[in-house]
Amino acid sequence: MRGSRIVGMGHCVPDRVVTNDDLAEFIETSNEWIVQRTGIEERRWVEGNVGAADLAFDATKDALAEAGMKASDLDMIIFATLSPDVTFPGSSCILQKMLGVPGIATLDIRNQCTGFVYGLSIADQFIKTGMMNNVLVVGGEVHSSGLDMSTRGRDVTVLFGDGAGVAIVSATDGENRIIDSKLHADGTHYDVLMVEAPASRLNPRLTPEMLEEGRHYPKMDGRQVFRNAVTAMPAVVHEVLEPHGFTVEDISMLIPHQANLRINQMVQRSLGLSDDQVFNNIMKYGNTTAASIPIALHEAIQAGKVHEGDVVVLTAFGAGLTWGANLIRW
Ligand code: COA
């Protein structure tokens, strides 16, 4: 039966390293507070005018090389981002222009930290139906140009980093494939993590007063996000495994979304996984939302931690609220 598998990956993070001590120079915070609460030691932030598609373009070049493909082999670009290059059109169109492949389908999706998990599932469905053969799935974010760089925003600003990760998903008849995905959302809590303005429901969409009040910066109820994340991710991992006769013991590698090392340690404990079954790199990059899973997965592969035939599970949780998981026979 026709299915899909990842045939090439790439990732790109900006060169500029921003340590916790760097942040403490303009925000009332400390390396100790950030490391204790989140595990984050540093993140990468762009310099100058760099958008999500710019980072994704570099990552895509590497993925195409790894897959032995040309951009013209792609049928579709799915771009998961909460920080699009411009309000519209989507970053998928901007990346398509950079890749020089006019005419192929493009789709931007807005599923925040769960964006890559949703994107991979969408690519898998398009390929299973036979409508597409080669789909580029992107998670790409530039947060640093949209963060409150004052102490007012410190609970959010210290968490986020910039980066992009991409996967080329291609048709296969083999057993090594994306086996299944489970996708969820609960919009009841849409406002626990959000950027409120500019917004079409506000008229005007943005005023000097809103800017003054910082309503264009992300706001978060961190504790509620934390509580939901540590229950939703283990649950969705079981949900994606069990219909296929797998248990957590079969997991060769779990790649959880990189929002907070403490969240991932609790998820690991709750699932009863050993250290070598879970990969984390949040220490170096902070939370890159939609980009975090493809960056981590690609780094795990490069570190020799993922082998052909392995059972790999990706799981994410984020604003929306949204959560989900992909089950892959690598
Ligand atoms: N540096 C120093 N102090 C900070 C701070 C910072 N960067 N950010 C907040 N604080 C202060 C708060 O003002 C508060 O001070 P107070 O007690 O005097 O009011 C204190 O630290 C505790 O704040 P609180 O928000 O209760 O901390 P916490 O233990 O819940 O940790 C998070 C905050 C953000 C680290 C944590 O809630 C979290 O990681 N949540 C999940 C967030 C997440 O993953 N978001 C992305 C989802 S995909």
* Distance (Å, whole) CA 128 – CA 123: 9
Q: Provide CB contacts within 8 A for 191, sequence distance 6+.
A: none
Q: What's residue 23's pLDDT?
A: 98
Q: What's residue 233's pLDDT?
A: 98
Fold: same for 3-175 and 179-279+287-329: yes
Q: What's residue 168's pLDDT?
A: 98
Distance 38 CA to ligand 1 centre (A): 9
Question: Per the residue annotation, which of 20, 111, 113, 260 is the catalytic one?
Answer: 113
What's phi and psi for 185, nearest 5 deg? Answer: -155, 155
* Distance (Å, whole) CA 93 – CA 103: 10
Q: What's residue 266's pLDDT?
A: 98
Which CATH number does 179-279+287-329 carry? Answer: 3.40.47.10
Distance 155 CA to ligand 1 centre (A): 5
- 189 tagged catalytic: no
Q: What's residue 255's pLDDT?
A: 98
Q: What's residue 124's pLDDT?
A: 98
* Distance (Å, whole) CA 236 – CA 292: 18
Nearest CA to ligand 1 atom 8: 155
Q: What's the pLDDT tens digit per position in 268-296?
A: 999 999 999 999 999 999 999 999 999 99
How buried is residue 162: exposed, middle or buried, by Cβ count under 10 Å (0-12/13-18/19+)?
Answer: buried
Whether omega for the bond prior to residue 321 falls within 30 degrees of 0, making it cis, is yes
Domain boundaries, the chain: 3-175, 179-279+287-329
Helix axes 261-271, 222-241, angle to 10 degrees: 40
Q: What's residue 58's pLDDT?
A: 98
Q: Report the chain's mean pLDDT, rounded to a whole number.
A: 97
Whether omega for the bond prior to residue 208 falls within 30 degrees of 0, making it cis, is no
Comparing CA positions, the residue from 74, 233, 100 lying closest to residue 166 is: 74
Cα–Cα distances in angstroms (integers) from residue 198 to residues 34, 126, 151, 300, in the given order: 29, 33, 22, 37
DSSP state of 111: -
Q: Give the pocket of ligand 1 (CB within 6 Å).
A: 29, 33, 37-38, 113, 154-155, 158, 193, 220, 222-223, 225-226, 259-260, 263, 287, 317-318
Distance 143 CA to ligand 1 centre (A): 18
* Distance (Å, whole) CA 279 – CA 302: 12
* Distance (Å, whole) CA 79 – CA 291: 10
DSSP state of 301: H
Q: What's residue 170's pLDDT?
A: 98
Nearest CA to ligand 1 atom 48: 318
Q: What's residue 275's pLDDT?
A: 97
Task: Determine the residue of 23, 38, 155 to mutate for testing ligand 1's pocket, defined as the one with the most ligand atoms within 8 A of the Cβ atom.
Answer: 155
Q: What's residue 76's pLDDT?
A: 98
Q: What's residue 317's pLDDT?
A: 98
pLDDT along the chain (330 residues), means of 10: 97 98 97 98 98 98 98 98 97 98 98 98 98 98 97 96 98 97 97 96 96 96 95 98 98 98 98 98 98 98 97 98 98
- 257 tagged catalytic: yes
Distance 85 CA to ligand 1 centre (A): 28
Coil vs helix vs strand at 322:
strand
Q: What's residue 69's pLDDT?
A: 98
Nearest CA to ligand 1 atom 38: 222
Distance 37 CA to ligand 1 centre (A): 7
Sign (positive/negative) of CA torsion 199, 229, 142, 80?
A: negative
Complete edge-to-edge strand list for the sheet that includes strand 311-318: 178-185, 322-329, 311-318, 253-256
- By percentage, how much of the chain surpasses pLDDT 70? 100
Using a cut of 0.95, tell me whether the model's pTM lies above it: yes
Indicate which atom in ligand 1 lies nearest the CA of residue 318: 48
The CATH number of 3-175, from 3.40.47.10, 3.40.50.2000, 3.40.50.150, 2.60.40.10, is 3.40.47.10
